[in-house]
Structure 1
Amino acid sequence: MSRYLRPPNTSLFVRNVADDTRSEDLRREFGRYGPIVDVYVPLDFYTRRPRGFAYVQFEDVRDAEDALHNLDRKWICGRQIEIQFAQGDRKTPNQMKAKEGRNVYSSSRYDDYDRYRRSRSRSYDRRRSRSRSFDYNYRRSYSPRNSRPTGRPRRSRSHSDNDRFKHRNRSFSRSKSNSRSRSKSQPKKEMKAKSRSRKSLLRARVMDFITSTAILPLLLGCVGLFSLFKLLQWLRMRAYVRNAVVVITGATSGLGRECARVFHAAGARLVLCGRNAEALEELSQELAASRALEVQTHKPCTVTFDLADPGAIAGAASEILQCFGHVDVLINNAGISYRGAIVDTSPDVDKRVMETNYFGPVALTKALLPAMIRRRQGHVVAISSIQGKISLPFRSAYAASKHATQAFFDCLRAEVEQHDIEVTVISPGYIHTNLSLNAVTADGSKYGVMDETTAQGRSPVQVAQDILAALGKKKKDVVLADPMPSLAVYLRTLAPGLFFRLMASRARKERKSKHS
């Protein structure tokens, strides 16, 4: 019974107090919850500055509990304070003052706050690591409410206080019954945990077995599906040009000659066009002598004319239509290249390049287009260049003709879509052909030099196969270039200033190499 006769603990220990906090500030904040007996903020003996904690003593323990409940971990004077009931032999500010005044140089652990904090750090951290509700109930347990002396007048409780204490007693009895039932159900929980662990182990083994045995079939299935997709795509591509009438201009050499071989092997009926009748006849005999194992081939027809001659195009178009009666695919491949500076180039050279690369293909396309529209079937292919999207120095006439070709056939695609006619623009990069050897210079003569970039270009056979694949997929615009030229196309759009500086640097290098 002696523990119920001890005086109640009405002092609060406030931790993490700001350095500029005064006792009046704490009295004002804590005084909202009841009358305060005393407030004490200890000062350091040498610096005479606050030591980071304080004591607040209330008249009634219930007021102290209310202040603890409402102000713990709240921000006061710029700091988040922590509150608990005072413990030990310094429960009140007066006791704290008396202890400090009795022996300033005492070596007791209560005179050094750092040692005080270290001595309680383990138990304090252990309590703070739990939940906040546990910590709050733990601190409240240090203030027994029933330990009031009988002679002291008690404050009358309200109905809400009585209800709160009834609820606390009820929860305490419920926790006791829960602890008893928990101790009884421990073996059952252990058995459930063991069965759950066995099930999870069995499930993991089953999954390991499935993954180890099914990963190889899945991989093989994916590879098989991809291969089947590519095979179907290849068959569709071959079927698109099989028995189709394909007109190829510039078929005597370079890319046009390889396109003739690739399309002939795919089963197309070819109409070969060019300026050299002997070269066309030689190519026709070569293709007629070759026999494809997979498809039936046809003997090509030849039509000799010059795209640079506007008067010859109309007659050539009627002759092309007489070969097989109609045209399914027109491949505008003929063209010449150009090397020279703009200030040294005469307008006649510019006209010559434009006649072959732009006006000739446009005139032939216009001559054969009405027959395609009447059949509501046809495919027009324009072999442009990567220089139809970007311009390189000392190739002004060629780049201008390819830019015009790109623009014209882009417009044509939009206009003939209602007639079910496809238009594809192919923009290859450097191809290992005689294009640079046959290029014209500023004065109209042949260039006669194989450029280093042209010599390192792609094989014309690969480009011809890519063109066949693009036709089978009915692509609108195809760039067949290395990564650097393709990157330059995007650089011209996204960072034009950088692109122009790079082209100016290239022009300076080419000019120096020519003079040297």
Structure 2
Amino acid sequence: MKDKVVWITGASSGIGEALVYRYHQAGAKLIISSRNRDELFRVKGNCKNALHIHVLSLDLEQSPTLAQKATEALRIYGKIDILINCGGVSQRSLALETSAETEEKIMRVNFWGTVALSKAVIPAMIANGGGQVVCISSLVGKFGTRFRSAYSASKHALHGYFDSLRSEIADQNINITLACPGFIKTNVSINALTASGSAQNTMDESIKNGMEPAACAAKIYQAVKDRKEEVYIGGKEVKGVLFKRLFPLKFSKYMRTAKVT
């Protein structure tokens, strides 16, 4: 990774923070982004010899501002080799009880923010001879569960969009990796939106007992290095992808009562 420039969103906590440490250790030059500037500087402060870690705060919900943020990012090192779209927000509410405003916010952050930022960066990657775009999706980007309707929709949308985009720019030396974590021990359930749009403020038992973020980051790092198109990460919940593919009706019935929080 020496002299490679990696831009990571959602870098102030969780998987994004763990990816910062992983890529810094590998020798990459980093741009780290999220809404929380103070937390970004905390993450930077945790890294030794952090000369090549640049903080650039942004809000993925404000997609009209992201083209300008991409311009600012490109000015820092003159290029971006890998864009890792890790920023996002989850959900813990029943579909029929969730306000349209909450659903729209989830889509703006998870889908439109990722799309806008990627479209702003990819032309510069192409002009530079190639690059890689990474989207941190979720296992619920492959199947739906209770309490995740809008969140699952936003992740499914990423797969549809970036699968299509991959086909369109395959001859431009742009690789696209979709990483699908399951239960990872982060604050994702604490920050998850309830029906009204407020944070849940509690940690799910499944998340509490999940994979450590550093272990998840290591698997994502390897998948990106290997230029995989998709990677599934987690514990036994990963088997759900194959379960649905082979036995869709049984899987549907199982998910009606499966513990997902």
TM-score for the superposition, normalised by structure 1:
0.49
The answer for the alignment partner of 1:263 in structure 2 is 23
AA partner of residue 406 (structure 1): H
Q: What is the correspondence of 1:282-297 to structure 2 with a 5 Å cutoff?
A: 282-287=42-47, 290-291=48-49
Once the 2 structures are TM-superposed, how far is the Cα of residue 396 of structure 1 from its aligned partner?
A: 0.5
Correspondent of 1:380 among 124, 133, 144:
133
Q: What is the alpha-carbon distance in structure 1 between the residues aligned to residue 119 and residue 161 of structure 2?
A: 11
Whether contact under 8 Å (1:255, 1:461) holds in the other structure is: yes
Structure 2 counterpart of 1:503 = 255
Question: Could you give the per-residue CA deviations for residues 90-124 of structure 1, whole angstroms, max 9, x where no partner exists?
Answer: xxxxxxxxxxxxxxxxxxxxxxxxxxxxxxxxxxx
**Structure 2 residue 252 is matched with structure 1 residue 492:** no
Write the mapping of 1:23-422 to structure 2, written as runs, cut at 5 A.
241-287=1-47, 290-291=48-49, 298-422=51-175
Q: Which has the higher Rg, Structure 1 or Structure 2?
A: 1
How far, CA to CA, are the matches of 1:467 and 1:503 in structure 2?
27
1:343 partner SS: helix
1:34 aligned residue: none
Shift of 1:350: 0.4
Q: CA deviation at 1:466?
A: 1.0
Residues in 2 aligned to 1:272 and 1:377: alpha-carbon distance in whole angstroms: 21
Shift of 1:335: 0.4
Opposite residue 73 of structure 2, the aligned amino acid is I
Contact 2:34–2:57 (Cα < 8 Å) also in 1: yes
Cα distance in structure 1, aligned partners of 2:181 and 2:138: 5
Structure 2 portions without partners, runs of 5+:
none
Q: Distance in 2 between matches of 1:345 and 1:474?
A: 37
Letter in 2 for 1:264: H
The Cα of 1:242 is off from its aligned counterpart by: 2.1
Counterpart contact for 2:216–2:234, Cα < 8 Å:
no
Q: Is the 8 A contact 1:268 1:298 kept in 2?
A: no
Question: In structure 2, what is the Cα distance between the partners aligned to 1:424 and 1:499?
Answer: 26
Q: Structure 1, residues 448-482: CA drift from partner, whole Å, max 9, x if none?
A: 11101000110000111111111211111111122
Q: Secondary structure in 2 aligned to 1:381?
A: strand
Deviation, 1:493, is: 1.8
Greater RCO, CA 8 A, separation 6+:
2
- Paired residue secondary structure (2:145): coil
Q: Distance in 2 between matches of 1:298 and 1:329?
A: 19
- The residue identity in structure 1 corresponding to 2:107 is M
Segments of 4+ moved more than 4 angstroms: none
1:218 equivalent in structure 2: none
Larger relative helix fraction: 1
Q: SS where residue 39 of structure 2 aligns?
A: helix
1:298: Cα distance to partner?
4.4
Q: 1: distance between equivalents of 2:2 and 2:225?
A: 11
Residues 384-406 of structure 1 show CA distances to partners (whole Å, capped at 9, x for unaligned) of 00000011111111111111111
Tell whether the 8 Å contact from 1:330 to 1:380 is kept in structure 2 after alignment.
yes
Name the CA distance, whole Å, in 2 between partners of 1:390 and 1:311.
Answer: 30
The percentage of aligned residue pairs carrying the same residue is 38
**2:140·2:156 contact (CA, 8 Å) conserved in 1?**
yes
Residue 312 of structure 1: how far off its partner (Å): 1.5
SS at match of 2:153: helix
Which amino acid is the alignment partner of residue 337 of structure 1?
A: S
Q: Per-residue displacement from partner, 1:145-184 (whole Å, max 9, x unpaired)? A: xxxxxxxxxxxxxxxxxxxxxxxxxxxxxxxxxxxxxxxx
Displacement after TM superposition at 1:283 (Å): 2.1
Where does residue 446 of structure 1 map in the other structure?
199
User: Is the CA contact 1:329–1:380 (under 8 Å) kept in the aligned structure 2?
Assistant: yes
The question of whether the paired residues in 2 share the 8 Å contact of 1:358 and 1:404 is answered with: yes
Given that 2:184 and 2:234 are in contact with CA atoms closer than 8 Å, whether structure 1 keeps it comes out as: no
Rounded to whole Å, the distance in 1 between the matches of 2:39 and 2:256 is: 41
- SS at structure 2 position matched to 1:425: strand
Taking the aligned partners of 2:213 and 2:202, their CA distance within structure 1 comes to 19
Q: What secondary structure does 1:423 align onto?
A: strand
Please state if 1:469 is matched with 2:222.
yes
8 Å CA contact retained: 1:358, 1:402:
yes
After TM superposition, the score normalised by the length of structure 2 is 0.96
Q: CA deviation at 1:409?
A: 1.3
- Taking the aligned partners of 2:199 and 2:131, their CA distance within structure 1 comes to 36
For structure 1, the 5+ residue unaligned runs are 1-240, 292-296
Partner Cα distance (1:370, 1:488) in 2: 36
